[in-house]
Amino acid sequence: MVEEISFALSEEQQMMQDTVRQLVQANVIDAIHQWDENRLLDKQAVQKFWELGIIQSMIPEEYGGYGMGSSPVLHTLVLEELAFGDMAFAVYAMLPALFVLPVVNLGSTEQKEKYLPEFCKESFVPATLAVNELSVGFDVWNCETKAEKKGNTYVLNGKKCFVPLADEAKHMIVIAHYEGNPHLFIVDKDTKGLSVGEREKNCGWWALPTFEVTFENCTIPEINKLGDETAFNWLIQRTRTAMAAIGTGISRASYEYSKKYAKERQQFGEPIASRQSIAFMIAEMAYEVDAMRLLTWKAASAIELGMDANRESFLAKIYAGEMTMKLTDYGVQILGGHGYIRDHPVERYYRNGRSIAICEAMAII
């Protein structure tokens, strides 16, 4: 029974949005350019986000968490605000959720007892998810990493790319094909057959360390399989919606920065915003950011209500993927030559913005 529709934030949602926005404003906006150039963000900013307790809230009290449950809608708000600051920061800060949420929702009691308590500590706990593969037109439903059952173990073989913090992650969830479907497997640090490569270099996400991870007859106990054959479908809806939320955040950042610039920058004696060619790009950015956000909210609403959100999450992601590309391109174009220089953040939005359409599952709601 779905009673009402609402486009307005609740007080709780508003408060969370404000909190994260302020955190980003105070800790990320001024620092991010240097983090990006240095290829590493300041972990203190991540720690500050950790201290908001968003990850810990997802964990039931019996495992040491705050037991607040998790709200997919609320998480899209959080992700948009984080990504408004920087995508690398957003992925980094929310990374433990990629491990925690699946365990909370799909895990056996045994798995919960084993893994959840350590995420209730005072310091950020690195854990990650290995999904993407460096193959042409990578299709997550037909990934090439395979799992094979041998006795009471699973043996993993394959190679993943774009695995954030793989070097320090205590645990990672690995997506591998098994019996015709992608499944989730938990692999702990130092498992034999798991090797983490050199840090990757990518078009964007410079402040985020990502790695190629290889599984060579990597053998894990039977009990490390997380959930059943429906688990991946559970996961992908949430990660696709999360990617859409990140796209919304990046696009909004590009929109707001170039809007401000267009009003201030004078050319031929008038602000460039007074030219329709610039003004109409800004108008389009304004409504496309909103459209992206509404599609994201709709997918998150469906997930929150426990409904199947295959369609909604897919549409939100592909829409955000196309539009983030378009809007971050507009941002650079509006700034012209200045937009091409790394001094202005539209350059970073452009590089990061290209990844929404290209990648799967860098975050979760």
Partner 1 sequence: MIQLVTPDYIKTLQDNMHKLAEGVLRPISRKYDEAEHEYPKELDMFRGIKVMARPKKKKEGESSTSGEEKKPKRGANLGMVVTIEEMCWGDAALLLSFPNAGLGNAAILAVANDEQLERFGNKWAAMAITEPGAGSDSGAITTTATRDGDYWILNGEKIFVTCADRSEVVVVWATVDKKAGKAGIKSFVVEKGTPGFTLEHLEHKLGIRASDTGTFVLSDCRIPYNNILGDPEVKMSTEGFKGVMKTFDNTRPLVASMATGIARAAVEFTREQYEKKGYAFDYKKNLSNVSAVEREWYLMDANVEAMRLLTWRAAWMADNNQFNNLEASMAKAKAGRYATLITQRCSELLGPVGYSTQYLAEKWMRDSKIMDIFEGTGQIQHLIIARNVLEMSSKELK
**277 is a contact residue toward a second copy (CB under 8 A):** yes
**276 is a contact residue toward a second copy (CB under 8 A):** yes
Q: Total number of residues binding a second copy (CB under 8 A)?
A: 4
Burial bucket for residue 45 (CB in 10 Å: 0-12, 13-18, 19+): buried
Tell me the window of 45-53, 83-91, 106-114, 306-314 that interacts with partner 1 (CB under 8 A). 306-314
Nearer to a second copy, 259 or 348 (CB): 259
- Give just the sign of the alpha carbon dihedral 303, 309, 310, 313: negative
Nearer to a second copy, 64 or 271 (CB): 271
Give the residues across from 270 on adjacent strands. Answer: 267
359 binds, among partner 1, a second copy, none (CB under 5 to 8 A by kind): partner 1
Per-residue x/- track, 281-300, partner 1 (CB under 8 A): -xxx-xxx-xxx-xx-xx-x
Q: How far apart are CA 98 and CA 175, in angstroms?
A: 12
Q: What is the dihedral of CA 43, 119, 236, 313, to 10 degrees?
A: -70
Task: Tell me which residue has tokens 């854990």.
Answer: 127
**69 is a contact residue toward partner 1 (CB under 8 A):** no
Q: Total number of residues binding partner 1 (CB under 8 A)?
A: 96
**152 is a contact residue toward a second copy (CB under 8 A):** no
Assess contact for 181 and 229: CB atoms under 8 A.
Answer: yes
User: Which residue in the set 32, 100, 359, 364 belongs to the binding site for partner 1 (CB under 8 A)?
Assistant: 359
Q: How far apart are CA 360 and CA 354, in angstroms?
A: 12
Task: Kindly state the smallest distance separating residue 340's Cβ from partner 1, in Å.
Answer: 5
329 binds, among a second copy, partner 1, none (CB under 5 to 8 A by kind): partner 1
Cβ partners under 8 Å of residue 328, min gap 6: 250, 251, 254, 346, 349, 350, 352, 353, 354
180 binds, among a second copy, partner 1, none (CB under 5 to 8 A by kind): none
Tell me the window of 51-59, 91-99, 153-161, 275-283 that interacts with a second copy (CB under 8 A). 275-283
354 binds, among a second copy, partner 1, none (CB under 5 to 8 A by kind): partner 1
Span 213-272, contacts to partner 1 by CB under 8 A: 236, 259, 262-263, 265-268, 271
Assess contact for 210 and 239: CB atoms under 8 A.
Answer: no
Give the residues across from 96 on adjacent strands. Answer: none
DSSP state of 29: T
Nearer to a second copy, 33 or 275 (CB): 275
Assess contact for 351 and 325: CB atoms under 8 A.
Answer: no
Residues near a second copy (CB under 8 A): 275-277, 280
